[in-house]
Amino acid sequence: MAEPAKIDIRSLSPEALSEHFKAMGEPAFRAKQLYDWLWAKACTHFDEMSNLPKALREKLKEQYQINHIRVDDSQFSADGTIKNSFRLYDENLIEGVLIPTPERMTACVSSQVGCSLTCKFCATGYMDRKRNLNADEIFDQVVLISRQAEENYQLPLSNIVYMGMGEPLLNYANVLKSIERITAEDGLNMSYKRITVSTAGIAKMIKKLGDDGVKFNLALSLHAANDQKRNEIMPINEQNSLKALAEALKYYYAKTKNPVTYEYIVFNDFNDEISDAEELARFCKHVPCKVNIIEYNPISFAAFQNAAIDKIEVFAEYLRSKGIITNIRRSRGKDIDAACGQLAVKKQ
């Protein structure tokens, strides 16, 4: 007869944990001690929980497991970016990146194993989606990348972007739970304002963010403010048109009063004309926003190329002339395929 599967202890709420400890005949304060080890100290091994009696630690090992992730491989870019392959408890691989700049240390984390959205310019879009990540697997990426920032740059992690593999709003509950644990006083105690969740644009889930009154930042990967062009590069737009997204963003802003960031890759001979900038400027009127123009990082699966830098500058200047805050973001980690749109696990 097969042994019963062990319970992933980090899937338990504080209340459920207390009930489990009560059933084991352990005092309630032991559950609080364990919860502190799991989340505030980000401990992944029962043996390291030094203020729990050894007998209790042995009992925990018999009944529970901590499905933590581990660094499988790290690559270091010439610009200081570190790309990690993380091995999950079920042997799947995901990627996460530390992006260091003089102003900040940013962790770019994944929310799914692969992706189901098939955006034509993104390497992850050419992978199958195998499963959603659990909240603790997202949390672990932040912990491990934070340690890399301390070890390599002697600086704490300052920002987190959910811009790695996967569509965060298609893993809604786990993404929000991971952010709750990252921001909680009895978790990593980071500020909501330092966290950005990026979506390819799922209107009903953007509205749900509004209903839930989220405090983190929202970014929309727009890349075209024209339905025909957006359909061509982002099939998700066929069910989530620009009109539907505009309505969802207005609803979200009315509920949260959080401005939105639009991410816009300027592709050569596709969306790089002033007429494209005019369409984008019109879309920007829906809610308070800013635009991040992102350098495109070519991938072997697609024929897109980055627009010429002088064209990008003209595009950005047009938006600024309309009073839109516009930043041009230079890519980091291109030489190790760690830049935006390049994450795709090449081995298993």
119 flagged as catalytic: no
- Ranking 31-45, 60-74, 295-309 by mean pLDDT, the lowest is 295-309
- Say how far apart CA 125 and CA 19 lie, in whole Å: 42
Our answer to whether residue 108 is catalytic in this structure is no
The region of weakest confidence among 50-54, 84-88, 174-178, 343-347 is 343-347
Of 253, 162, 249, nearest to 202 by C-alpha is 249
CATH topology of domain 7-65: DNA polymerase; domain 1 (1.10.150)
Contact present, 35 and 14 (Cβ < 8 Å): yes
Give backbone dihedrals phi and psi of 46, rounded to 5 degrees, phi first. Answer: -60, -35
Q: Locate tokens 């839930």: which residue?
A: 212
Active-site entry in 26, 95, 167, 263: 95
Structural contact between residues 164 and 108, judged by C-beta atoms closer than 8 angstroms: yes
Note whether 348 and 93 are within 8 A (CB).
yes
Task: Among 24-33, 158-167, 324-333, name the one with the lowest average pLDDT.
Answer: 324-333
Domain coordinates in residue numbering, the chain: 7-65, 70-336
Strand partners, 143: none
Q: How does pLDDT run across 203-237, given as a tens digit for each residue?
A: 999 999 999 999 999 999 999 999 999 999 999 99
Look up residue 223 and give its two tokens. Answer: 């890349």
Fold exhibited by the domain 70-336: TIM Barrel (3.20.20)
pLDDT at position 341: 46
pLDDT tens digit string along 40-72?
Answer: 999 999 999 999 999 999 999 999 999 999 999
Taking only the tens place, the pLDDT of each residue in 87-120 is 999 999 999 999 999 889 999 999 999 888 878 7
Distance CA 46, CA 9 (A): 11
**Phi, psi (deg, nearest 5) at residue 332:** -120, 145
pLDDT at 126: 72
The residue written with tokens 């024209």 in the block is 226
Domain pair 7-65 / 70-336, same fold: no
Q: pLDDT band at 332, cuts 50/70/90?
A: low
pLDDT tens digit string along 237-266? 999 999 999 999 999 999 999 999 999 999
Which of the following is catalytic: 43, 115, 284, 340? 340
